[in-house]
Every structure is written in structure tokens, then in C-alpha cells.
Amino acid sequence: AAVPTPDAGRRAHLRQAATHVLFDNWTGAATVPSRALYPHQWSWDSAFIAIGLRHIAPRRAQRELETLLGAQWGDGRIPHIAFNPSVPLGAYFPSPDFWRSSTAGRNAGAPSTTQTSGIVQPPVHALAAWQVHLADPAESRRRGFLPRVYPRLAAWHRYLSTSRDLAGGSLAAVVHPWEPGLDNSPCWDEALARVEPAPRRSFRRADLDHSSAADRPTDLDYARYVRLATTYRDHAYDDARTPHAFAIEDPSFNALLIASEHALAAIARTVGADAGAHLRRAEATTAALIDRLWDPAGGIFLARDLVTGEPIAGHSVSGLVPLIIPGLPQDIASALAGTAHGPRFRLGQVHLVPSYDLTAKEFDANRYWRGPSWFNTAWLIHHGLVRHGEAGAAGRLRAQFLTAAYHSEFAEYLEPYTGEGRGIRRFSWTAALALDLLH
């Protein structure tokens, strides 16, 4: 799977095709991940999309983030979906009538006009906001972009570091498998098995109208996703009051929080706020991540199940993402790079970075986050490799990324052995991150 970087002609074509995907998926105020499968605004998708958009339409990249932040709740949470009211209810499940944010979320400060979900996704936003600013600082200053987003991003991080620090160990917990973004990762299997599935007839999946059932989570997974979200909703999305049957400290979620906290320090410095507080929080979270989730024997970070109090044994790409953390101790960074190249992930030998351990019995080369390679995690690991002096491996991963994006027509994910596209095509973050790596 070692491939040369596409030549100049192909790069120009790739840039044009990626631009088309993003412009076609723009709805006027934000970008949908996919017109058919995901017809609303998703939280971490928008952050990745803004990182790509800044190269071709910096003002639109700012708006992408501003629109998402417009759906923020009073308690600081950024919901994982901001719903587009012009999309029919049946086009996506779960729809606004399931989440009931403006009523069930009222005490937590959900907006009264925009309908949203009540759960969150990984905090890539401050990272994105800082990069979007740097792409066109003059336009950013003219629009007052950073002074407007800074307090909202700070409130978001505060929510994650307080209300979501469920174990009191200085890490943010996720309370639903949709929150870490790696929805049906085998890492969640044991924790999910404790959740009583909702009756199958109580909901209708819309995803299967657009994607092959073999590439998606199962009905049983969905029945449990529904139960967890219903319980959270029925407790007014109150983190302290909800009896969380699923509560996990995920390495990638926390690594993104740390990287974003560093970006927030840079933003704070620019707007004249206290950068030191953000840097101290980043350091404390890094120390907690190493203390609570680092597994020296496996050379990878492991998620921790807060219901049992035990680490989760499965090796997922999430455990490699902490490579992006500025100032990660060099021995840990080297061990992570070694694990990425080892038999479980085979970096450079298979396509991109598989989402789950290739040697595990739960590995499935086609099913969503149970094995396929995804472009956003490859992009993160590319940056981690660059940061920690692995330029050769980073360059090879970048070449693979661009070639695969081109050949798969911006697929949602790839079968890691063949490199064939899976899921939907013309997927926004694949196009956006390809644009970013082209620049």
C-alpha cells in the first residue's frame, strides 16, 4: 500500500473535486456531512470541514463554526447535531422530536429556537477556530471572529472539564457511544452489553435507506443507543442526575480536548485573555491522560470504563490519537509510532490507519468503526507523526490519504486491505481534510 503522492495534474483535479463536494454540501449557513445520510450539521464534522474550507473560503469556514456555536447550550455543551428545520423529520433518525432539546434541555440552557441533540462530540473546535483564523487573519479581525468565538469555546471546555469529569480524575467522560464519534467501536461492546435495548419497534432507522446494512451498526446497537439517549433526555440532560449506564474516558476525545486547550491558549493570547489558565488545564489533562489511560505494555492508550472502573482491553485507533498532543513525552510518542507500525495497525502496509486492531477477533474490515480506515483519524495521526519527528511515515500517510480520497470519490471510510470505499461517497470531512493536506 505504499503509493506515490499524486502528480500535479491529479492534485489540481483533486482540489477541484473536493471543492465541489464542500460547495454542494453547503446549506447556506453550514455544511452537511452528506446530503443523503447526514442531512444536518454535525459537531466534529463541522470542525474538520472548517479546517479544509479555510483554504478555499475563509469567511465561510468562520461561519461554519459560528453557526455551530449558535446552537450551544447555556451550560456550555456544543450539541452533536444542530438540526436543519427544513429537512423532513423522517430523513434522519433520531430527529428533533426524539431529543426534544428545547423542552427536555431547558434547565441545561438548550436554545429555544434551534433544535439540537443533547449529547456531544469530540472537542476539535478550538483547534479548528485557531487554524481558520490563521488562514486569513485580516478577515478574521475585520469580522471580530476570535473575540466572538473565544468565550463560547472557553465555556465548552469548562463544561467538559467540570460536568463531564464524572470520575473526578481530570478527564472528560463520554456518556453515549455517539459521543466519541467512533460509534460502534468494539471497545464499547462490553459496556453496551449492560444496556437494556429499547424495543425494536419503538424507532425507525433512516440510515439504512442510504447505506448498506453490512457497513453500518446493527439493529441491536441502535436499540441500545436509543435507550441511553432516552434515559439522558428523561433526566433533562443533567450529567449529575442521570444514572449513566455508559460512562467512559476515551483517549481520543481527551487528546482532542488537550490539543484544543493549547489552541485556546493561543486564541486567548490574541484576544487579550488569560492564556496561562488554558495551558495549565492542558498540562493537567495530559498528566491525567497518561496516569489513567496509558498502557505501557501495549504501547497504546486504553479507554477506561467508569462503571467497572477498569481499563477496556481493546486496541482502537482512538488510543493512537494522543500522538497529536503537544509536549507528549518522547518515549510515549515513540511507543505510539511503534504500535502504529506494528501488527495491530500496520501503518504503511494497509490503507491509512484501521479503526480497530487487525489481529483482534472483533475486527471487521467493512463495518463502520469496527475496522475500516477513516480519513479524519488518518489526518490526526499524520499530524501526530509530523509533530513527533516521524516525517517519513507522515509523508507516506499523506500520499496514501490523497490517493485514496481521489480514487474513492471522497468515501466515508475504506476497507483497509483493499482500499475500496465503504459507506457513502462525497463525504464532507474526507474532502475537507484532503484539501488541507494538499496545501
Q: Which residues contribute to the site for ligand 2M8 (CB under 6 A)?
A: 33, 38, 42, 44-45, 80, 178, 181, 183, 207
Distance CA 81, CA 403 (A): 30
Instruction: Give the other-Cβ count within 10 Å of 142's Cβ.
Output: 10
- Output 38 or 410, the one with its CB closest to ligand 2M8: 38
Q: Which is nearer to ligand 2M8, 6 or 217 (CB)?
A: 217
Min separation Cβ 160 and ligand 2M8, Å: 17
Beta strand segments in 365-410, E:
373-374
The one catalytic residue in 357, 412, 415, 436 is 412
Non-local CB neighbours of 407 within 8 Å, separated by 6+ positions: 419, 421
CA distance 166 to 247: 8
State which residue, 119 or 267, has the beta carbon closest to ligand 2M8.
Answer: 119
Nearest of 437, 370, 426, 363 to residue 400 by alpha carbon: 437
**Smallest gap, in angstroms, from Cβ of residue 32 to ligand 2M8?**
9
Residue in the block written with cell 432516552:
230
Active-site residue, 412 included? yes
Show Cβ contacts of residue 409 under 8 Å, excluding neighbours closer than 6 positions.
Answer: 17, 421, 425, 426
- Could you tell me the smallest distance in angstroms from the CB atom of residue 226 to ligand 2M8? 12
Q: Which residue in the list 75, 136, 183, 364 is annotated as catalytic?
A: 183
Cell numbers at 170, concatenated: 481530570
**Beta carbon nearer to ligand 2M8, 345 or 413:** 413
Residue with C-alpha cell 453490512? 214
Q: Compute the least distance from the CB of residue 38 to ligand 2M8, in Å.
A: 4
Considering the complex, what minimum distance in angstroms separates the CB of residue 92 from ligand 2M8?
A: 7
Residue at shortest CB range from ligand 2M8:
181
Q: Is 334 exposed, middle or buried (0-12, 13-18, 19+ CB in 10 A)?
A: middle
**Grid coordinates belonging to 138:** 485580516
Residue (145 or 374) nearer to ligand 2M8, CB: 374
For the annotated catalytic residues, the residue numbers are 183, 412
